[in-house]
Amino acid sequence: MFAFLPGFLTGLSLIIAIGAQNAFVIRQALTKKHVFIVVAICSVADAALIALGIGGLGAIIKGLPWLIEVIRWFGVAYLTWFGIKSAINATKNQALDAGVVESKPAGKVVATLLAMTFLNPHVYLDTVIFVGGVANTFGENRWFFGFGAMLASLVWFTTIGYGARAASRFMSKPVFWKVLDGIIAAIMFTLAITLATFKF
């Protein structure tokens, strides 16, 4: 649980943001078509990339023990930067205009979603490098951290996929994002301090 909960909070904090993928999922969900496919692709893709980061980085770290410290302080810096960015966003008036759009054929929906997922460098930074790297600092418990992050993706995409109408109503209000960004900033700073002070 010590590794699982930080993994869940880290994954959730990183994935909750006004971005192309989330906006696409919400817009598609509003059409009530291909929702399961969209949620499944997003969740499985995140889980696969996280697993790749944990497994691949884990193998490298075994041969380069000093790398764990590099990853630790990279993680601290990244979490701090993300926290500052979220704190700044909390002062802005931003909203997500989900807008009702007509659904495209399943093939086009899948192709668009795969492109948004795998052609976005930020996705690899968040999942493979950052989540995978931080997970490996937990040693034998790294997969529990990873499972927590994977569950966060599943929970988030399922929530916005099947609760799009209710979610979009709240997301259209700037106050929603102010509060959410404030919470994310607090979580990021807490995780940064934990990562910096924990004795591995």
For residue range 92-118, what is the model confidence (pLDDT) as tens digits? 876 665 554 566 788 888 988 888 788
For residue 157, name the pLDDT band (cuts at 50, 70, 90).
Answer: very high
- What pLDDT shows up at residue 149? 94
157 versus 64: the higher-pLDDT residue is 157
In whole angstroms, what is the distance from residue 192 CA to residue 137 CA? 13
7's CB contacts (< 8 A; 6+ apart) are 131, 135, 144, 145, 146, 147, 148, 149, 152
163 versus 145: the higher-pLDDT residue is 145
For residue 73, name the pLDDT band (cuts at 50, 70, 90).
Answer: confident
Distances from the Cα of 162 to the Cα of 25, 122, 158, angstroms: 10, 25, 6
Which pTM was predicted?
A: 0.73
- What pLDDT shows up at residue 85? 84
For residue 47, name the pLDDT band (cuts at 50, 70, 90).
Answer: very high
